[in-house]
Structure 1
Amino acid sequence: MASPPPSVLAEAVERRLSSHQSQGPSPAEMAAEHVKRQKFRRLIDPGIMRPNPELEAIEAMKVLFKLSENLIREPDNPKFQRFKTTNTLIQKHIVSPKGTVEFLRELGFHPEVVDFQPFYIFNPKRMQDLKIGNAMLKESLEIQEQKKARTMGSTQTVQEARAEVIEKVQLAFMEDRRDKMEHDEREKQSRAARAEIEARKAAQEGRRESTQSNEDVIAGLGHVLGSASDQPPPYN
């Protein structure tokens, strides 16, 4: 039986490879990627987040994300394939914080001296590790942004509630003042009315006493005029 020609064998191999590629990663590859993701997550938290101040840790992750993002976008660009460790930004956000150098190494960068200058240089064979680490950095930064948004929302809610309480207290105070002013005005009018009534009563009483006094005087005069001493002598 004659063997198939090489071209047929090549086509069969190509079809088989294509079918494997179309089926996606194998279970073993997926398991290895899962392990790698978990390792990157641990390098972020607790690796970077726990030993550093929160803002410093977040800024360091942003720099790591930018380094990996540039290299994924332009893998053949030499300026993204290496950087000096003496760079001010690298010193502040990569060298100084705890846990960042370990993460950088896991991305695929390794230290090397070139022309007596210290560099971190990327190993192109670690591109898959770089992509996984980049995804984990993005995930962690998004979580931090959501946390910040919730905190700001909570703070805003507290401030709004506090402002509402203050407004209610002010309105209650103003209402109390208005009620007191109205009460004082009513008391003032009531006192004025009572004073006017008392004045009228006093005036009426004065007039009554004056009238009574005049009547008494007139009655007294009548009694004096009608006395026996004023009668004419009897007629003899």
Structure 2
Amino acid sequence: MLNPNLQVNLTGPGGSFFNNLNNVSLNQVPDVTVKAAWDPRLGPYKLHVEGWALYRQLLDRFNSANHSYDTGSFGGHVFAELIPKTLDLQLYGAHGVLGRFTATPFPDAAVAQDGTVLPLSITAAAVGLIWHATPSLDVYSYAGLEKAKANFANVGTVPFGYGNPLYNNTGCFTENTPAASCNGNTKEVRQVTAGVYDTLYQGNYGTLKAGVQYSYTQRIAFAGVGGAPKTDDNVVMTQIRYYPF
């Protein structure tokens, strides 16, 4: 188990706008993002291209000493009209220590027994198509994934880190198993989704919109002692929105 002298956050100081029931990050510098975007027009076709880079420093404190790790991430997004005012394409990709910026969400890092920061590299990608079937009806579909790279360290036979093959997964295949026998660190999450969104009414009394969406999601864990657990889920969601103005 981790040494009790390891600190990755602090209890809120209380007073002012701080709540002493919440934890406060130990980060000593803020995240820094730079971004560039380009909006050319290729004849009748609209195109939007953007790229970004993210700097983050991860910090913990162990045995009266700080441990920090500087990280960098990058990504980009493309929006393109395949058929003007009819069919749009969206592409997205990112790589780096994305952690809490992911939809999964993944952790930012794990730690070794001596407090060494073990950052997690994440690769994320998505593609989508939006069909403007009529001026009021949109049909869309997206597919995407987020995948983590294992980073771990051992002290003898005692495993630490994330995605360690020595972790106990023997209970992951039995319902209501104690957490100690099912570590199941998430390796990858995949999803495909499709839906429709329609403007039912737009006039003097506001706008009424409605939609329905289906998604299929897979979660795959790293292999450990007992195997590599995975699961999936089917979800149908509906929505109705009224905008009075």
TM-score range, shorter chain: under 0.3
TM-score, scaled to structure 1: 0.15
Which structure is higher in helix share? 1
Higher relative contact order (CA 8 A, sep 6+): 1
TM-score of the pair, normalised by structure 2: 0.15
| Structure whose residues are more often strand by fraction | 2
Tell me which structure has the larger Cα radius of gyration: 1
